[in-house]
Amino acid sequence: MRWWDVEQLAVVERELFPHDPWSAEQLWSELAHVPETRWYAVHEDSDGVDGYVGLMALPPEGDVQTIAVAPRAQGRGLGRELLDALVDEARARGCTQLFLEVLHTNDAAVRLYERAGFESQGRRRDYYGPGLDAVVMRLRIPSSEVAADG
């Protein structure tokens, strides 16, 4: 992800997260932490950015900051590809656990994470607003697979 992707990402954010989109300013602020504690990747098709993913890595823990696939590209394996790339990056940075929060009604995302090995750790009530709970999920990355020097 580069600075020139920010405006396009802000448009996809508004489309996919209408209640709580990241603004261009928030995306800029994330980019400011690359590469120290953040890693962001975008995927493009002929119409521009169709997917992106972001990691916060504070070894030995990491957080999935965001993952999104534009509606035109959903259901074809891109989300899984982006998530796999994020886990590879977390592993290379020495993370042994990855965490995320997901809206409890977001079945597509919960399934994506479960298929990748994430397990539910519990719920945060009203995390996204009244009646909108977050499911907290965790992926353990075996330390034998993790880069020794982070």
Ligand X SMILES: CC(C)(COP(=O)(O)OP(=O)(O)OC[C@H]1O[C@@H](n2cnc3c(N)ncnc32)[C@H](O)[C@@H]1OP(=O)(O)O)[C@@H](O)C(=O)NCCC(=O)NCCS
Report d(CA 93, CA 98) in Å as an integer: 12
Site string for ligand X, 64-103 (x = CB under 6 A): ---xxx----xxxxxxx---------------------x-
Report d(CA 7, CA 95) in Å as an integer: 30
Distance in Å, CB of 36 to ligand X, minimum: 24
CA-based R_g, the chain, Å: 15
In the block, which residue shows the tokens 């504070």?
58
Residue 8 vs 146, nearer CB to ligand X:
8
Residue 123 vs 143, nearer CB to ligand X:
123
Q: Which of these, 76, 70, 80, lies nearest to 112 by C-alpha position? A: 80
Distance in Å, CB of 128 to ligand X, minimum: 10
Interacting residues with ligand X between 2 and 31 (CB under 6 A):
16
In the block, which residue shows the tokens 């994430």?
118
Tokens of 57: 């890595």
Distance in Å, CB of 144 to ligand X, minimum: 26
Residue 112 vs 141, nearer CB to ligand X:
112
